[in-house]
């Protein structure tokens, strides 16, 4: 095991170290005031508080789509199911319509809700915080759904298959 004590980190190596933490994969969607739909892939989602019910996610400040998404009063965080792996790169790429071929319904505030996710959290924007080269977005959960679908898991730069033996 390598220990780094220096404050000058190699960015690639630090990213590799961060990648040792397995995460779920989410897609965050919103409807803009003019009716356009926005969606981005994010793997930094976490619960924050039960009372009030708050969640957070963060994104690189200069990333494509974040400035648009920040115009919305509501957003939804979709925890992707294992069989939705194709949605992760689709919502991370600069394609003209990230929703092409995606089955959605309309949620609170007109937010597009992706069908078939492991969990969906419909939120009202609570607050944002600048944090280095990222913005931390906190949302108040207004409505949610969940299923028993195995989650899509990302670790060390790859998607993992959820071990069937882990099911309880």
Q: Which two tokens stand for residue 100?
A: 């092409």
- Model confidence over 12-38: pLDDT tens digits? 887 788 777 778 899 999 999 999 999
φ/ψ of 16, rounded to 5, equals: -65, -40
* pLDDT tier, 163 (very low <50, low <70, confident <90, very high otherwise): low
Q: Which of 4-13, 37-46, 129-138, 139-148 has the lowest mean pLDDT?
A: 4-13
| pTM of the predicted structure, to 2 decimals | 0.87
Which domains occur in the chain, in start order?
A: 24-161 (2.30.110.10)
Q: Can you tell me the distance from the alpha carbon of 117 to that of 103, in angstroms, rounded to the nearest whole number?
A: 11
SS3 92: helix
Please name the residues in contact with 41: beta carbons below 8 A apart, sequence gap of 6 or more.
25, 26, 27, 87, 88, 89, 91, 92
pLDDT in tens, 57-116: 998 888 877 888 888 999 999 999 999 999 999 999 888 899 999 999 999 999 999 999
């Amino acid at each position: 095991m390598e220990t780094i004590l220096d404050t000058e980190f190699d960015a690639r190596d630090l990213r590799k170290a961060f990648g040792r933490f397995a995460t779920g994969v989410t897609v965050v969607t919103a409807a803009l005031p003019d009716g356009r739909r926005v969606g981005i892939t994010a793997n930094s989602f976490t619960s924050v508080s039960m009372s009030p019910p708050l969640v957070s996610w963060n994104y690189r400040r200069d990333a494509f789509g974040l400035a648009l998404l920040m115009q919305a009063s509501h957003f939804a965080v979709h925890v992707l199911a294992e069989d939705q792996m194709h949605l992760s790169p689709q919502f991370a790429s600069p394609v003209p319509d990230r929703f092409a071929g995606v089955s959605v319904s309309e949620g609170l505030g007109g937010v597009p809700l992706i069908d078939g996710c492991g969990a969906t959290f419909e939120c009202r924007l609570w607050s944002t915080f600048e944090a280095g080269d990222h913005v931390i977005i906190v949302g108040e959960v207004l409505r949610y759904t969940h299923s028993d679908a195995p989650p899509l898991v990302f670790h060390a730069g790859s998607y993992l298959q959820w071990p069937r033996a882990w099911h309880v």
